[in-house]
């Protein structure tokens, strides 16, 4: 009896198990004959060979097993078991030495010798590329309109969680303020605006952080992005080509650096214990097309002379060798024993070109140093900052306290609309850039202070109280503001308005929102703020993330 396997069903199973490997299979008809057993065995061997060649696609074996166990008749299964027993006692495994009848012959060649010569390698590459896309740009399959709808929903859930938390805390002391507001805002504690889209959706990143690691082909000197899980020890490094949020100019520098590594006599450092030297690459750019590359290095057991030679070889490659075609405006070299190091921890050595990039925002020029923070999507940053200025409701009597100010971009953009700007930032190089940026743009009403916000704020806040309309703008890292900063802000009666910019409002920063709005406690003094408006702005197309600007008032 002949039992046919539907190609569509096979593809469905294969897609379910291994995301695309179904393309390996064509319509197959299984018969209860010895030749059919040969086909099954060959499929199994083919799957095993693939699994040995591509460690990430072991599910091939599962798919083939499911095809056999679900579709083969009892008689075929018995024949297969009998054949296995005979193989163990007598001859080597049967091969497809004789062609099957035309209607049963698969359209691919099933021999280990030709695996690398068939389309299987292309399918493996497609699988890995899609896995990288899923890791770096998880929404790449969705139309941009659908991405925005998803992000709008996620921000709505963030506000709903905050709303419920505030309602519970107020209910404990007999208050219903938040509950009363939910009737006006569809169950939320504040107005949630429609998300503002990014003006650009591809190649928008002005900063790419690239790693060095073992590639899919076993090459230790692969430059790109990691996929896999560290705890499962299946991490591999893949070129960033499939990631459409990275520009081609950045990818060209990445490829050039990999060429350099392959030519270098020094090994790469996959960990700080392997005595390797070359490490990751950071590429930065501006809208004018200028490129800055920062190469990380670990001296390990090299002498100072050998380290100097390594620097010179890198310089020669990008100045006169194959890397010249990248057209770098700046090339930096940083030797450090840490994964991330600032200029204070490990100085950046300029090997080529000019020391800084300059970017334009709202007709202002901003200097960018190798380790300075700058929003990764410049066109969308203008949308975000326009939103922040609207929420701040600026006037000529306004003083802006810019917390976690970075290179001073937000405060300096507002400077011509307000009386004074005071910025606080922990990174010394960023503060220096902010001061230079003020000079570049002839801005005299902006000052910048270096230090942790929780330590600096108690000293500068008394000098600003009574200076008129005091507005706080906070743009912290993903972890949010230090709890002490929230306590200081709540205790200051001069602060009536706070605009909080969060790139991860569903993370630890959510605690900041609750602490700003909750009723007074023994830990949190002062009148609570009310969250009155939230505006999402998409700076990260193809990902789940966006910026959320929140207006707190009291």
**Higher pLDDT pick, 43 / 195:** 195
Do 257 and 394 fall within a single domain?
A: no
Q: How confident is the model at residue 76 (pLDDT cuts 50, 70, 90)?
A: low
Mean local confidence (pLDDT), 107-133: 66
| 17 and 78 co-located in one domain | yes
pLDDT at residue 80 in the model: 64
> What single string gives the DSSP state of each residue in 130-189?
HHHHHHH-TTTTS-HHHHHHHHHHHHHHHHHHHHHHHHHHHHTTT--HHHHHHTTTTTSS
Instruction: Classify residue 462: in a domain, yes or no.
Output: yes
CATH number of the domain at 171, please: 3.40.50.150
> Which pLDDT does position 454 carry in this prediction?
96
What pLDDT is attached to residue 405? 94
Identify the pLDDT of residue 63: 44
The DSSP output letter for 25 is -
In a domain, 27, yes or no: yes
Residues 194 and 226 in one domain: no
The pLDDT value given to residue 342: 63
Catalytic residues: 503
- Work out how many domains the chain is built from and give that number: 3
Check whether residue 260 and residue 406 sit in a common domain: no
Query: Model confidence at 131, in pLDDT bands (50, 70, 90)?
Result: very high
Q: Residue 147 — very low, low, confident or very high, per pLDDT cuts 50/70/90?
A: very high
Q: Does residue 370 sit within a domain?
A: no
Is residue 135 situated within a structural domain?
no
Q: Distances from the Cα of 409 to the Cαs of 50, 55, 263, 539, in angstroms? A: 52, 46, 41, 16
Specify whether 221 is located in the same domain as 170: no
Q: What is the pLDDT of residues 431-462, one digit of tens each?
A: 999 999 999 999 999 999 999 999 999 999 99
Q: What mean pLDDT value characterizes the chain? A: 83
Looking at the predicted structure, is the pLDDT value of residue 41 above 60?
Answer: no
**Are 10 and 83 members of one domain?**
yes
The verdict on residue 382 lying in a domain is: yes
CATH code for position 247: 2.40.50.1070
Does 141 fall in a domain? no
Binding residues are 375, 425, 475
CA distance 537 to 539: 6
Q: Which helix (H) or strand (E) holds 126?
A: helix 120-136
pLDDT band at 231 (very low <50, low <70, confident <90, very high): confident
Interhelix angle 74-89/59-71, nearest 10 degrees: 120
Same domain, 327 and 387: no
Shared domain check, 183 and 211: no
Tell me 520's DSSP state: P
Binding residues for S-adenosyl-L-methionine, by number, are 375, 425, 475
At 531 the pLDDT is 98
Say whether both 433 and 459 belong to one domain. yes
Q: Are residues 410 and 314 in the same domain?
A: no
pLDDT given at position 229: 87
State whether residue 234 is helix, strand or coil: coil
Residue 82 structural domain = 2-118
SS3 237: strand
Report yes or no on 232 lying in a domain: yes
Exposed, middle or buried, 350 (CB in 10 Å: 0-12/13-18/19+)? middle
Please say which residue of 101, 118, 135 terminates a domain. Answer: 118
Q: Which of 118, 139, 171 is the last residue of a domain?
A: 118
pLDDT at 392: 96
pLDDT of residue 467: 74
| Residues β-bridged to residue 535 | 549
Q: Residue 369 falls within a domain, yes or no?
A: no
pLDDT higher than 60, residue 52: no
Please enumerate in sequence order all residues whose Cβ is within 8 A of that of 21, keeping only pairs 6 or more positions apart, or say none: 14, 15, 57, 59, 60, 63, 123, 127
Q: Which of 102, 118, 134 is the last residue of a domain?
A: 118
Same domain, 84 and 154: no
DSSP designation for 468: S
**pLDDT, tens digit, 9 for 90 and up, residues 169-194:** 999 999 999 999 999 999 999 999 99
Task: Say yes or no: 85 and 179 in one domain.
Answer: no
Q: Where is pLDDT greater, at 269 or 119?
A: 269
């Amino acid at each position: 009896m002949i039992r046919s396997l539907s190609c569509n069903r096979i593809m469905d199973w294969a897609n379910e198990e291994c995301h695309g490997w179904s393309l390996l299979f064509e319509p197959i008809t299984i018969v209860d004959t010895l030749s059919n057993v040969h086909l099954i065995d060959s499929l199994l061997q083919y799957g095993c060979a693939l699994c040995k060649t591509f460690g990430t696609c072991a599910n091939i074996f599962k798919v083939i097993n499911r095809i056999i166990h679900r579709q083969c008749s009892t008689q075929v299964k018995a024949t297969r078991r009998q054949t296995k027993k005979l193989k163990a006692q007598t001859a080597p495994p049967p091969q497809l030495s004789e062609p099957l009848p035309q209607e049963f012959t698969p359209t691919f060649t099933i021999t280990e010798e030709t695996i690398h010569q068939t389309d299987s390698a292309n399918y493996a590459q497609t699988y890995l590329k899609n896995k990288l896309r899923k890791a770096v740009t998880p929404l790449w399959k969705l139309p941009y309109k659908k991405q925005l709808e998803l992000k709008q929903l996620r921000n709505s859930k963030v506000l709903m969680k905050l709303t419920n938390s505030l309602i519970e805390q107020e209910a404990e002391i007999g208050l219903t303020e938040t509950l009363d507001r939910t009737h006006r805002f569809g169950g939320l504690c504040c107005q949630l605006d429609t998300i503002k889209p990014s003006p650009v959706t591809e190649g928008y990143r002005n900063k790419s952080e690239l790693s060095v690691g073992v590639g899919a082909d076993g090459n230790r000197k692969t430059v790109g992005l990691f996929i896999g899980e560290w705890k499962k020890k299946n991490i591999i490094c893949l070129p960033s080509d499939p990631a459409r949020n990275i520009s081609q100019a950045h990818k060209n520098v990445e490829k050039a650096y990999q060429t350099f590594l392959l030519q270098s006599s020094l090994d790469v450092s996959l960990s700080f214990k392997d005595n390797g030297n070359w490490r990751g690459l950071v590429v930065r750019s501006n809208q004018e097309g200028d490129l800055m590359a920062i190469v990380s290095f670990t001296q390990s057991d090299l002498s100072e002379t050998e380290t100097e030679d390594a620097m010179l070889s890198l310089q020669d490659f990008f100045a006169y060798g194959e890397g010249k075609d990248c057209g770098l405006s700046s090339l930096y070299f940083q030797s450090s024993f840490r994964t991330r190091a600032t200029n204070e921890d490990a100085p950046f050595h300029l090997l080529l070109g000019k020391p800084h990039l300059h970017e334009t925002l709202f007709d202002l020029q901003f200097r960018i140093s190798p380790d300075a923070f700058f929003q990764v999507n410049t066109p969308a940053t203008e949308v975000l900052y326009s939103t922040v200025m609207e929420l701040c409701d600026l006037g000529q009597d306004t003083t802006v306290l810019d917390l976690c100010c970075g290179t001073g971009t937000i405060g300096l953009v507002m400077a011509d609309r307000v009386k004074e700007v005071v910025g606080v930032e922990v990174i010394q190089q960023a503060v220096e850039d902010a001061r230079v940026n003020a000079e570049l743009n002839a801005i005299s009403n902006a000052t910048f202070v270096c230090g942790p916000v929780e330590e600096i704020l108690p000293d500068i806040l008394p000098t600003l109280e009574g200076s008129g309309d005091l507005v706080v703008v906070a743009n912290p890292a993903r972890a949010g503001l230090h709890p002490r900063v929230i306590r200081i802000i709540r205790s200051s009666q001069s602060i009536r308005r706070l605009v909080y910019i969060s790139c991860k409002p569903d993370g630890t920063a959510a605690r900041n929102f609750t602490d700003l709005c909750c009723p007074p406690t023994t830990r949190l003094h002062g009148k609570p703020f009310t969250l009155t408006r939230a505006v999402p702005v998409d700076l990260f197309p193809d990902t789940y993330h966006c910026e959320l600007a929140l207006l707190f008032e009291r």
